[in-house]
Structure 1
Amino acid sequence: MNVIELNSIQYNMNKSIMSSFLSALCLSLIFWFLIADYNYFSIIGFLLFFIVFFVCYLFIATPIQIILNKNNKKFILINLIIYTAFSGIIHTIVFVFYGNSNPLQSSIFYSMILCSSVVFWFIDSLFSKTMDK
């Protein structure tokens, strides 16, 4: 590998890590405000949300993001559809793992899928556009 390819790989990884970090932060804030019961929900709950979302984004969404960002266009709806499809698969696995035998009947299931995919798609597109300048 030459120096240009190594710089490109490093640049893409930095962009992906920052997108994952910001997406996890935003999604944690969204879910914290939507489902928080302020009597017993604490900052530890927020941090737990953040860690789970960050790990999921980093290890699941980042490889997809790197593949989809090769064309260097931003705010592409097909990317949103792909992120939503993968988000649906992951959320289905998580919901079934935690005992919800039919997650398709839950409105929370659909809102989590859409929210997590839209947040990641938006931040990926917005953040990538600013880093490309």
Structure 2
Amino acid sequence: MARTIQEVDAIIAHADDWRGTTLARLREIVLAADPGLTEDVKWRKPSRPEGVPVWSSGGIVCIGEMLKNAVRLTFPKGALLADPNSLFNARLSGNTVRAIDVPEGGELREDALTALVLEAIKRNG
């Protein structure tokens, strides 16, 4: 577990701009939603050798990625989740996946995101 935390810390530190700060804040919100969440790094490939952070509980809850113009939090079962606060703003046309793109200076609605994470955990359970 400590190794994974260090790997995610390294991914965040690698971006020395707003994206690292935003991913760090999203990580805090996601992990605070439920102490049973596990954190891992997956999908290392030549174009992204550091991989991407993944948070799970009974299956993947969400994935964090730093894109060029946004930080994306992807929910693999997002289409099955209620989104009364309209957080999902990316990958809306797929049958299962939904995502939240947070641009530079974008608002992080902590309570709404926490509720979405908890619903995704429940959906996995």
TM-score (norm 2): 0.32
Q: Whose RCO is larger (CA < 8 A, sep 6+)?
A: 1
TM-score (norm 1): 0.31
The structure in which a higher percent of residues are strand is 2
The structure that has the greater radius of gyration is: 1
